[in-house]
Amino acid sequence: MLRIDGVTKRFGALVAVDQLTLAVPAGAVHAFLGPNGAGKTTTIRMCLGLTVPDEGTIDALGLS
């Protein structure tokens, strides 16, 4: 299970991810699609713990 709740990430004045909320059930397959600069890589980096969100929470497999 992956749960993203109200996640925002800013880089200076640039808002890369704005109030993202998403729930992916265990065993489900999802894809991130969007144009360059839409925040896809930033979102994945936050899910992996490589980037810390400025707001909101991310829980993956019961870990925050």
Q: Do you know the residue count of the chain?
A: 64
Cα separation, 55 vs 41, whole angstroms: 17
Mean pLDDT of 55-62: 90
Cα separation, 30 vs 13, whole angstroms: 30
Please give the pLDDT value at position 64: 66
Please give the pLDDT value at position 62: 73
Give the helix/strand (H/E) hosting 46. helix 40-47
Indicate whether 7 pLDDT > 90.
yes
Domain boundaries, the chain: 2-24+37-60
pLDDT (tens digit per residue) in 9-40: 999 999 999 999 999 999 999 999 999 999 99
Q: Return mean pLDDT, the chain.
A: 94
Please give the pLDDT value at position 63: 66
Per the structure block, which two tokens stand in for 10?
A: 């800013």
Cα separation, 55 vs 59, whole angstroms: 13
